Amino acid sequence: MLNRKNTPANGASEVQATAIINALPHPVLLVDEDMSIITANDSAQSFFQASLSSLRKHGLSYFVPFGSPVLALIDEVVRRGTPVNGYRVDISSPRIGSERIVDIHAAPLINRQPGTVVMLQERSMADKIDRQLTHRGAARSVMGLASMLAHEIKNPLSGIRGAAQLLEQSVGDEDRALTQLITAEADRIVKLVDRMDVFSDERPVERAPVNIHVVLDRVKRVATTGFARDVTIREDYDPSLPPVWANSDQLIQVFLNLIKNACEAVKDRPDGEIELSTAFRPGIRLSVPGSAEKVSLPLEFCVKDNGPGVSEDLLPHLFDPFVTTKTNGTGLGLALVAKIVGDHGGVIECDMKSGMTVFRILLPAFTPATAGDAGDTQ
């Protein structure tokens, strides 16, 4: 009689427990001594790119590299009967992908029940945030350099350019080419200084609720009528996204820069293509300038291309000023993109995934609490 009364309550508790585990953003597994997977939450199935039945069929050893530290860590939990943690463990493998760096938290079940609970926490987002802070510091260095250049270089260049124009009027045809070269090079240096001067603009960004798909459609129209005329641009949009809290003109500048870079990467490939995608990714929170509270960054916008990619050595420094893969590049385009995204309280990162170069931007969504009554969506 007592058992029958308790059965519905126990059943409800199990359902609630399952729902709670599945709501966690981190992969959670229950593993036995043989590394067989007893159960796994939804995040674990997504992380290992396998269904629960497939995880149970193959076991943990099938998905992680041979001799992986995660297996030794679970063995230690079983042997000691106490929780064990591992930090920055590389579990990359052909089955789950590259650059899978995780922190591992493993603990035995209570009351001596068989099994080890394993939670994986991906380091990628923490590393991205650390890099974003580095990008902002580098941008501040450029700001100081730009202020110095504007005063110390632009004024003398103006004099040099004027002198070259005066000389051009009194020299022969052979020497006139040299004076024209001096004028053109002076103009080029001024343009470079002007581009750097953008980094010294520390005024707060004027933001409003922006429909990201309106921005991307405009960028695509501009690109396909110019530099991307011969490139296939595909779309993978989530039409239900809320507005992004941003400056639409600056977002246009960001995506034009990223798409132009992608076009240059695929221009020599007959099958070259670019993909624009939008998605909702809850769970990312970050402290941003001008706010004492952490802000959620649920909106993910990606520009992907199937070009040759970026070398592993260059990837961590791609958004630093003066770093470029182009022969005649200045290395300021992506640095400016990182500055704009950072000014919006967002994060940008470049990854290599499944033969694609992926530039991923995370930005805050607009809510009435964000900025009161901000008017209509742009």
Whole-number mean pLDDT of the chain?
78
CA dist 237 and 351 (Å) reads 20
Count of CB atoms situated within 10 Å of the CB of 192: 15
| DSSP conformation letters of 257-326 | HHHHHHHHHHTT-TT-EEEEEEEE-TT-EEE-TT-SSEEE--EEEEEEE-SS---TTTGGGTTSTT--SS
CA dist 253 and 329 (Å) reads 17
Alpha helices in 105-238 (DSSP H): 124-152, 154-168, 173-197, 212-224
Length of the chain: 378
Among 54-58, 188-192, 319-323, name the one with the lowest average pLDDT.
Answer: 319-323
In terms of pLDDT, which residue wins out, 60 or 188?
A: 60
Map tokens 């199990």 to a residue: 14
C-alpha angle 133-337-216 in degrees, rounded to nearest 5: 130
Per-residue exposure over 311-330, b if at least 16 CB sit within 10 Å of its own CB, e if not:
eeeebeebbbbebbbeeeee
| Confidence (pLDDT) at 4 | 41
pLDDT per residue over 321-355, tens digit each?
655 665 555 556 788 888 888 888 888 888 887 77
Task: Give the full edge-to-edge strand order of the sheet including 84-90.
Answer: 37-40, 28-31, 116-122, 101-108, 84-90
pLDDT per residue over 251-309, tens digit each?
998 999 899 999 999 988 888 899 999 998 765 555 554 555 556 678 999 999 999 88
CA dist 339 and 137 (Å) reads 10
CA dist 40 and 45 (Å) reads 7
pLDDT per residue over 209-268, tens digit each?
999 999 999 999 889 888 888 899 999 999 999 999 998 988 998 999 899 999 999 988
pLDDT per residue over 82-104, tens digit each?
888 887 788 888 778 766 788 88
What is the SS3 string spanning 45-84? HHHCCCCHHHHHHHCHHHHCCCCCHHHHHHHHHHHHCCCE
**With contact defined as beta carbons under 8 Å apart, do 196 and 149 qualify?**
yes
Output DSSP code: residue 366.
Answer: P
Map tokens 């939990």 to a residue: 77
Hey, what amino acid is at 65? P
CA dist 92 and 100 (Å) reads 5
pLDDT per residue over 122-143, tens digit each?
765 556 555 555 555 555 555 5
Write the CB contacts of 131 (distance below 8 Å, at least 6 apart in sequence).
316, 319, 349
